[in-house]
């Protein structure tokens, strides 16, 4: 641990004001919402998408007193009790600190980069090395400029080895990462297409990645991806691949059931490995692992055993529905302080239940490490937790954790045996355990089962997309996000919790009921209701939902209602019809609206808006301009008539991208948030939802036989047919039948055969590598799928039936 005085010597300062040079610093904080040990925290005001300087008061209110800033803020200038370090660039300052800390680490560091597989190789290496080494791995996907600095900060000399992931999205980033990590050994997992758009070509991207290996003694990589000339001169190379010159040569590779057999030539010795996976990506990742263990002098027989024990690993935290209306956060694959913090943070974001339970296992190294024990106690004491279930040794320090209800168990099976005596209902439950505790057994008992078809919602992608659109609008423009229709099929409070945490300004639903559901789930953001009805006025008021007001009839009805209840200044959103001809006042009605509004104080116009009918269609740009102009004029008249200002908003997703002049005071983000880029203009949107199902049965059929109802699917050749568990009741449209629907199994394309049934359909998998139980991606390309059945992605997404389980994950 460093003192602030010491930190001030390590980083390049412009100026400083230090009250207490001896103040200990153990935590680096950049997000004022994520504070666990305020006294020992150093807050870095970063200026990425949002200006961290704006969050200094919040950090201060949570007890943080030490700050690294680019400039002094009025708030800080007034405070007497703070340490302030002023630097040119606060991110660079954090990196300087991380770099210094890294140079204090005496043992080898393995740096991993590549387009895919970084996290999995990191996790597998940890699994394989842990029986005899103390391994540090950078948490989750902390692989960016910021993430790597934070990962390095957590390094401690007691580790035998550290594995750090480095990811880049733009040219020029790797030099900086290399400076910090200074890896001794480098692993290049693979080179794919991820992030390719910023790079001129594959070669430029590869060159950038290889910069991580500037001073490594060894590089592990396939000869598929690089050649000797491309490597830095000082590095030796363990290459794997099919070439005779490869250090590890693949002689034979074949699938046997649900395993693969790999025959390798290692130092002129032929060795067989059984690998518990069949997909190409996993095999590549295993080859990286084998290469490193051989370099570290592990015997072949130990490597064979440990490879066989590898588990397909979910490197991610999942939120799913649990028994008795509970929510389960499943993070049962690793346990250390850094990842526990991330998961607890996610637990605190859940507003849907009052009660929060943590089921936690013992941690590696906890027994011997007093400091770690203190940190754990401090961390848990800052959390709003109602119950702790502890599985592991009964340490004395557990007494110091102030949580109302504590249940201690020596091991997982005794906890499971006692489950019938415990009540879990209406609560959020974080299940966080080290792998050896096999907490997946607990999740299995507390979670609701899914029936083979699941909609995966990637919350990281959602956050990413939010940032992408935020970066397109000026900072003063507010962001309204559309969560109507179950958030375009992605879920209600689960998505809203994240949006609330991400500090969007407004949520919008279609009907009052949807708003009520969000309020019941603890969402406190302002909510606009697009299509309110007179019979829901009561719930609007009760749940503080703000209606769209679209006609004189509706306005008068609402005013009468408010008068009856003696309510004043209720917020409403006036809708103008500039061409959609759905709901809204015509521009010529605005003077009359002003007249009515001026005579009362029951409602107040919170916002005034219109909807663009074809913001994404270049052929209609003249009409869009006409709409924007009409709106502007009407807004002017309304503003002058009312004598006060209101939020003006026009742009939906395509409007945000294509019509900067329509951003006004707020934008309404819809489909883009969910990762569908209707305009095909944005490079860094990520797909949010993936509909997955499974193969239930395989059949070999002869040419001339038929598949499905009415004998519609006539086979023209001998065929292999797979039945999968999705049908039109799940929202898989019947128009996808007869080969129109395309699905994907391990990256292989297949098409439907015959008609779509209610709960199932059949795929033609002739000639493909498919087994029963295999996973199937239903919409490999949702834009194309929509086109194939003559609709738009919106419809496919919102039609995914409620009976399809949603699983939210977060890395
Ligand atoms: C649905 C909706 C939006 C969002 O549209 P996207 O095209 O999904 O961005 C914006 N405004 C209104 C009034 C809507 O109904």
> What are 545-599's pLDDT values in tens digits?
999 999 999 999 999 999 999 999 999 999 999 999 999 999 999 999 999 999 9
Which atom of ligand 1 is the closest one to the Cα of 655? Answer: 9
Q: Ligand 1 atom 13: the closest Cα is on which residue?
A: 611
Question: How big is the CA angle at 378 (ends 375 and 381), to the nearest 5 degrees?
Answer: 150
Task: Determine which one of 371, 699, 709, 787 is catalytic.
Answer: 709
Q: How far is the CA of 571 from the centre of ligand 1 (A)?
A: 20
Q: Is 599 a catalytic residue?
A: no
Using a 6 Å cutoff on CB, does residue 652 contact ligand 1? yes
Would you place residue 195 in the very low, low, confident or very high pLDDT band (cuts 50, 70, 90)?
Answer: very low
Which among 488, 508, 654 is the best mutation to test ligand 1's pocket, defined by most ligand atoms within 8 Å of the CB? 508
Atom of ligand 1 nearest to the CA of 609: 13
Averaged over 289-308, what is the pLDDT?
95
Nearest protein CA to atom 12 of ligand 1, as residue? 611
How many whole angstroms from 482 Cα to the centroid of ligand 1? 7
Six token digits for residue 683: 């490079």
Distance 455 CA to ligand 1 centre (A): 23
| Residue 509 Cβ contacting ligand 1 at under 6 Å | no
Over the stretch 710-764, which tens digit does the pLDDT of each residue have? 999 999 999 999 999 999 999 999 999 999 999 999 878 999 999 999 999 999 9
* Nearest protein Cα to ligand 1, atom 1: 670
Q: From the CB of 530, is ligand 1 less than 6 Å away?
A: yes
Q: Which atom of ligand 1 is nearest to the CA of 672?
A: 9
CB of residue 657 inside a 6 A radius of ligand 1 = no
SS3 of 390-440: the string is EECCCCHHHHHCCCCEEEEECCHHHHHHHHHHCCCCCEEEEEECCHHHCCH
C-alpha of residue 579 to centroid of ligand 1, in Å:
15
Tracing tokens 């009250």 back to the chain, one arrives at 19
Q: If pLDDT is split at 50, 70 and 90, which confidence band does 312 have? A: low
Output the CA 485–ligand 1 centroid distance in Å: 11
Backbone angles phi and psi of 287, in degrees to 5: -65, -35
Q: What is the pLDDT at residue 425?
A: 94
Q: Is the CB of 482 under 6 A from ligand 1?
A: yes
Of 432, 484, 575, 742, which one is the catalytic site residue? 484
Q: Could you write out the three-class secondary structure of 588-618?
A: HHHHHHHHHHHCCCCEEEEEEEECCCCCCCH
Residue 472 Cβ inside 6 Å of ligand 1? The answer reads no
- Is 139 touching ligand 1 by the criterion CB < 6 Å? no
Number of Cβ within a 10 Å radius of residue 312: 10
Assess whether the C-beta atom of 628 lies below 6 angstroms from ligand 1.
no
pLDDT category of residue 309 using cuts at 50, 70 and 90: confident
Contact between residue 412 and residue 437 where contact means Cβ atoms under 8 Å apart = yes
- pLDDT band for 334, please (50, 70, 90 cuts): confident
- Give the number of the atom of ligand 1 that is nearest the alpha carbon of residue 668: 10
**Cα 545 to ligand 1 centroid, rounded to whole Å:** 18
Q: If one looks up domain 689-810 in CATH, what number appears? A: 2.40.37.10
Exposed, middle or buried: residue 571 (CB in 10 Å: 0-12, 13-18, 19+)? Answer: middle
Is the model more confident about 647 or about 201?
Answer: 647
State the Cα–Cα distance between residues 585 and 87, nearest whole angstrom: 53
Ligand 1 centroid distance, CA of 481 (Å): 9
> Is residue 281 scored above 70 in pLDDT?
yes
Quickly list DSSP for 76-114: HHH-SS-EEEE-S-HHHHHHHHHHHHHHT--S-EEEEE-
How far, in Å, from the CA of 792 to the mean position of ligand 1? Answer: 14
709 is catalytic: yes
Report the CATH fold assignment for 105-308. 3.40.1190
Confidence of residue 196 (pLDDT cuts 50, 70, 90): very low
Q: Residue 192: which pLDDT band, with cuts at 50, 70 and 90?
A: low
| Ligand 1 centroid from CA 572, angstroms | 18
Q: What is the pLDDT of residues 26-74, one digit of tens each?
A: 999 998 888 888 999 999 999 976 789 999 999 999 999 999 999 999 9
Asked if pLDDT for residue 194 goes beyond 70, the answer is no
Instruction: Report CA(795)–ligand 1 centroid distance (Å).
Output: 13
Rounded percentage of the chain residues whose pLDDT exceeds 90: 76
122 lines ligand 1 (CB under 6 A): no
671 lines ligand 1 (CB under 6 A): yes
**C-alpha–C-alpha distance, residues 434 and 363, integer Å:** 7
How many A from CA of 518 to the centre of ligand 1? 19
Token pair of 365 as six digits: 């190294």
Annotated binding-site ranges for substrate: 582, 758
For the chain, the average pLDDT equals: 92
Give yes or no for residue 668 CB within 6 A of ligand 1: yes
- CB of 649 within 6 A of ligand 1: the answer is no
pLDDT at residue 315 greater than cutoff 90: no
- Top mutation candidate among 528, 547, 611 for ligand 1, by most atoms within 8 Å of CB: 611
Atom of ligand 1 nearest to the CA of 611: 13
Q: What is the pLDDT of residue 598?
A: 96
Q: Which of 668, 669, 673 to mutate to test the pocket of ligand 1 (most atoms within 8 A of CB)?
A: 668
573 touches ligand 1 (CB under 6 Å): no
Q: Which residues are annotated as part of the binding site? A: 582, 758
Comparing 251-265, 295-309, 558-572, 662-676, the range with the smallest average pLDDT is 251-265
Q: How far is 155 from 181, CA to CA, in rounded Å?
A: 11
Q: How far apart are CA 65 and CA 41, in angstroms?
A: 8
Say if CB 608 and CB 574 are below 8 A apart: yes
| Distance from residue 651's CA to the centre of ligand 1 (Å) | 8
**456-674 maps to CATH 3.20.20.10:** yes
Residue nearest to ligand 1 atom 10, measured at CA = 652
Structural domain boundaries in the chain: 2-91, 105-308, 317-449, 456-674, 689-810
Look at ligand 1, atom 6, and give the residue with the nearest C-alpha.
Answer: 670
> Which residue, judged by its Cα, is nearest atom 4 of ligand 1?
670
Going from the Cα of 508 to the center of ligand 1, the distance in angstroms, rounded, reads 9
Ligand 1 atom closest to 575 (CA): 13
The Cα–Cα gap between 447 and 329 comes to 9
- Closest ligand 1 atom to residue 548 Cα is 13
Domain range 2-91, CATH class: alpha beta
Kindly state if the Cβ of 653 falls inside 6 Å of ligand 1. yes
pLDDT top residue among 117 and 526? 526
Q: Beta strand 27-29 with 41-44: parallel, antiparallel or unpaired?
A: parallel
- Closest ligand 1 atom, residue 616 Cα: 7
Secondary structure, 3-state, 200-267: CCHHHHHHHHHHHHCCCCEEEEECCCCCHHHCCCCCEEEEEECCCCCCEEEEEEEEECCEEEEEEEEC
Identify the H or E element spanning 465. Answer: helix 459-470
The predicted-structure confidence for 220-265, as pLDDT tens digits, reads as follows 999 988 888 888 889 999 999 999 999 999 999 988 877 889 999 9
670 Cβ inside 6 Å of ligand 1: yes
Is it the case that residue 490 has pLDDT exceeding 70?
yes
806 lines ligand 1 (CB under 6 A): no
| Superfamily classification of domain 317-449 | Mur ligase, C-terminal domain (3.90.190.20)
Instruction: Answer whether 627 contacts ligand 1 (Cβ < 6 A).
Output: no
Alpha-helix residue ranges (DSSP H) falling in 730-800: 782-788, 793-798
611 lines ligand 1 (CB under 6 A): yes
Residue 279, pLDDT above cutoff 80: no
Reduce the DSSP state of residue 527 to 3 states and report it. Answer: strand
**Closest atom of ligand 1 relative to the 669 alpha carbon:** 9
Atom of ligand 1 nearest to the CA of 671: 8
């Amino acid at each position: 641990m460093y003192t602030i005085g010491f930190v001030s010597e390590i980083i390049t300062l412009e100026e400083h004001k230090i009250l207490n040079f001896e103040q200990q610093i153990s935590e680096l904080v950049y997000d004022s919402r994520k504070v666990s040990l305020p006294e020992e925290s150093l807050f870095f005001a970063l200026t990425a998408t949002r200006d961290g300087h704006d969050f200094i008061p919040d950090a201060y209110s949570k007890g943080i007193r030490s700050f690294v800033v680019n400039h002094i803020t009025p708030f800080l200038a007034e405070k007497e009790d703070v340490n302030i370090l002023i630097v040119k660039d606060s991110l660079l300052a954090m990196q300087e600190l991380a770099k210094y800390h890294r140079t204090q680490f005496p043992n080898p560091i393995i740096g991993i980069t590549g387009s895919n597989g970084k996290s999995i190789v990191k996790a597998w290496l940890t699994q394989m090395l842990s029986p005899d080494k103390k391994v540090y791995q950078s948490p989750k996907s902390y692989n960016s400029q910021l993430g790597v600095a934070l990962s390095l900060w957590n390094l401690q000399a007691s580790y035998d080895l550290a594995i750090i992931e480095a990811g880049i999205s733009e040219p020029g980033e790797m030099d900086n990462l290399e400076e910090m990590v200074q890896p001794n050994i480098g692993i290049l997992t693979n080179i794919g297409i991820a992030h390719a758009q910023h790079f001129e070509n594959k070669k430029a991207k590869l060159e950038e990645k290889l910069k991580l290996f500037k001073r490594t003694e060894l590089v592990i990589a396939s000869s598929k991806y690089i050649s000797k000339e491309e490597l830095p001169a000082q590095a030796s190379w363990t290459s794997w691949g099919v070439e005779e010159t490869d250090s590890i040569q693949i002689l034979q590779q074949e699938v046997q059931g649900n395993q693969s057999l790999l025959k390798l030539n290692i130092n002129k010795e032929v060795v067989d490995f059984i690998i518990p996976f069949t997909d190409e990506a996993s095999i590549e990742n295993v080859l990286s692992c084998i290469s490193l263990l051989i370099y570290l002098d592990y015997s072949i027989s130990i490597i064979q055993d440990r490879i066989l024990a590898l588990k397909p690993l979910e490197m991610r935290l999942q939120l799913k529905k649990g028994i008795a209306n509970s929510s389960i956060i499943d993070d049962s694959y690793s346990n250390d302080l850094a990842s526990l913090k991330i998961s607890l943070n996610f637990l605190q974001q859940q507003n849907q239940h009052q009660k929060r339970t943590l089921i936690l296992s013992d941690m590696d190294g906890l027994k011997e490490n007093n400091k770690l024990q203190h940190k754990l106690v401090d961390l848990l004491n800052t959390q709003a937790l109602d119950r702790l279930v502890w599985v592991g040794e009964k340490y004395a320090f557990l007494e110091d954790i102030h949580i109302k209800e504590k249940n201690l168990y020596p091991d997982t099976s005794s906890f499971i045996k006692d489950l019938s005596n415990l009540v879990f209902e209406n609560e959020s439950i974080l299940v966080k355990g080290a792998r050896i505790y096999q907490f997946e057994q607990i999740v299995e008992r507390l979670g609701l089962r899914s029936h083979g078809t699941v909609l995966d919602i990637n919350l990281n992608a959602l956050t990413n997309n939010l940032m992408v659109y935020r970066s397109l609008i000026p900072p003063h423009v507010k962001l309204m996000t559309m969560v109507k229709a179950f958030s375009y099929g992605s879920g209600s409070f689960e998505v809203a919790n994240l949006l609330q945490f991400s500090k969007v300004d407004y949520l919008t639903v279609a009907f009052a009921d949807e708003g009520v559901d969000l309020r019941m789930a603890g969402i406190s953001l302002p909510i606009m209701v697009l299509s309110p009805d007179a019979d829901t006025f009561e719930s609007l008021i009760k749940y503080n939902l703000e209606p769209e007001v679209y006609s004189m009839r509706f306005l008068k009805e609402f005013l009468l209602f408010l008068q009856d209840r003696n309510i004043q200044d209720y917020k409403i959103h006036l809708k103008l019809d500039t061409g959609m001809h759905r709901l809204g006042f015509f521009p010529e009605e605005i003077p009359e609206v002003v007249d009515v509004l001026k005579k009362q104080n029951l409602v107040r116009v919170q916002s005034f808006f219109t909807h663009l009918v074809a913001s994404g269609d270049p052929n209609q740009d003249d009409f869009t301009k006409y709409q924007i102009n009409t709106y502007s004029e009407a807004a002017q008249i309304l503003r002058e008539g009312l004598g006060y200002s209101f939020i003006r908003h026009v742009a939906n997703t395509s409007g945000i991208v294509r019509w900067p002049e329509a951003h006004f005071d707020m934008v309404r983000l819809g489909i883009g948030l969910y990762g569908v880029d209707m305009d095909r203009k944005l490079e860094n949107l990520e797909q949010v939802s993936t509909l997955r199902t499974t193969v239930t049965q395989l059949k070999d059929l002869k040419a001339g036989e038929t598949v499905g109802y009415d004998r519609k699917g006539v086979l023209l050749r001998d065929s292999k047919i797979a039945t999968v568990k999705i049908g039109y009741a799940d929202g898989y449209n019947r128009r996808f039948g007869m080969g129109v629907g395309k699905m994907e199994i391990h990256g292989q394309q297949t098409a439907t055969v015959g008609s779509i049934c209610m709960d199932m359909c059949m795929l033609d998998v002739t000639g493909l590598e498919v087994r029963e139980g295999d996973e199937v991606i239903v919409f490999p390309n949702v834009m194309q799928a929509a086109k194939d059945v003559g609709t738009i992605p919106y419809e496919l997404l919102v039609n995914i039936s409620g009976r399809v389980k949603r699983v939210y994950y977060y890395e």
